[in-house]
Amino acid sequence: MKKKFTRRDFLKAASIGTASAIALSCGMIETPQSSSTLEPVAVPTGISQSGAGTREADVLVLGAGIAGLAAARTLADKGLSVIILEARDRIGGRIWTDSSLGLPLDLGASWIHGVQGNPVAKLAKDFGVKTVATNEDNGVVFNFDGSEISDSDYVKMQDLFESIYEEVAQLQESADDDMPLQQAFDQVIASRDLSTEDLRRLQFVIQGNFALELGADPDHLSLWEWDQDEEFGGDEVVFPGGYHQIIEGLAKGLDIRLGEQVTGISYGADGVDVQTSSGVFVADKAVVTFPLGVLKQAGVRFDPPLPESKQSAINRLDMGVLNKVYLKFSKVFWDAGVETISYVGEEVGEWCDWLSFETYVGEPVLMAFHGGAKGYAIEEFSDDEIIAGAMKTLRVIYGDEVPDPDGFLITRWGKDPLAFGSYSHIPPFASGDDYDALFEPVDDVLFFAGEATSREYPATVHGAYLSGVAAAGEIAK
């Protein structure tokens, strides 16, 4: 099987340091044809619907994603009273496991990106959650006509990208002003005499290393800052039983109120009043874990308004999108044992990246990714149109005998009103300083957590978790 070129590979090749391993996220899920409803994940005791229980606490945590749960768990373990307010009818936020196709499938985060020293890996061990290492080298790559790309052509494709990226990295170091990363690519590509086929394959590799990793195309990424983050080493692993097992482990014993849509936050020297769909909650301090996409929408009123430094950071940073399409079949018709299936199609970014779950859970399930502009574009299509596009590609690769799927799941991240995207990235003229500004507390009353407040590990589950622990640490001071 041919090696699938990864972001980590080309960073090593270009010798420009390390970059983050990006956590996948969930979106709005359409009801699959094979099931009339999505099965809710079982939640621990202590979770109640809106309107129940006391409305006062030492600390209010706004959001029951992993950042909020990490903050609440840390504070509760220190003896503080904590109430978590969650707008959804479930916990987990952008971690969401669905079992409506007969097996647990993660609509949101899927991986622990690097287990060495990773706090999420420690949680998995503490909670007794099974993980399975994935291997991106275990893949196969197909051409637009369904033919398998030869070993020699594959090596040429990777060598071309590496040589071009080496020059892009030099521009990153020497440019006097920031610019879109795509602009740097364009400058280097313009100096080469590349064939139409070379350009198509090059764009495929670029798409895989940016839009499918960062949720944003290179024209929306900062040349200077796109890779300012860090990563953990070791295997990348998935959860055969679903990521929700981590969420449930953290949530045990916590006071979580579901269906509490926050509409306003008033704060001052005497504490915090949080207005929700059911009334007002009061505390000495609050931890805000809203996704960057929600903060950018400015749908929650802050009184007084947030400081200019924080508002500017919210405006400068941006949200990307990575959408998933799961297809469950009656049998495995693709290469048994293969983990990744890549397709260098005529339309860059469409049905180009597939993951087989047969290796991990023994079930005939494929998942396709769409990221960046293509990720947003797919949200505008109907379920039927999306499935038709998927099947067209699979039949180009594997033949007209490929059966229709028995069921499917489709995420629509950008349309999720409680996320408005998948995770953050640094567009041109923003910087890692903006992540720091988002984390900074306000008046020792409002504290902030979430992946978009983690300068070292943005766009990851472990970054979100660590930010929640850090916010709790600031409060505990």
DSSP 360-403: HHSS-EEEEEEEHHHHHHHTTS-HHHHHHHHHHHHHHHH-TTPP
Whether the Cβ atoms of residue 112 and residue 123 lie closer than 8 Å to each other: no
pLDDT computed for residue 8 by the predictor: 35
pLDDT computed for residue 18 by the predictor: 29
Percent of the chain with pLDDT over 70: 89
pLDDT computed for residue 50 by the predictor: 58
Q: Before 458, cis peptide (omega within 30)?
A: no
pLDDT computed for residue 477 by the predictor: 86
Each residue's pLDDT tens digit, 317-328 = 999 999 999 999
Whether the Cβ atoms of residue 322 and residue 25 lie closer than 8 Å to each other: yes
Q: Which of 18-32, 48-62, 109-123 has the highest mean pLDDT?
A: 109-123
pLDDT computed for residue 44 by the predictor: 52
User: Does residue 59 have a pLDDT over 60?
Assistant: yes
The fold of the 31-132+236-317+430-476 domain, in CATH, is: FAD/NAD(P)-binding domain (3.50.50)
Residue ranges per structural domain of the chain: 7-27+135-234+320-415, 31-132+236-317+430-476
- Give mean pLDDT, residues 341-351: 94
**pTM for the structure as a whole:** 0.90
pLDDT computed for residue 16 by the predictor: 30
Percent of the chain with pLDDT over 90: 86
Higher pLDDT, 84 or 336: 84
User: Does residue 261 have a pLDDT over 70?
Assistant: yes
Look up residue 387 and give its two tokens. 């499935």
- Give mean pLDDT, residues 354-364: 95
Whether the Cβ atoms of residue 227 and residue 455 lie closer than 8 Å to each other: no
User: Does residue 51 have a pLDDT over 70?
Assistant: no
- Inter-helix orientation angle 244-251/119-127, to 10°: 80
User: Does residue 416 have a pLDDT over 80?
Assistant: yes
In this structure, whether the domain defined by 7-27+135-234+320-415 belongs to CATH 1.50.10.20 is answered with no
pLDDT computed for residue 47 by the predictor: 72
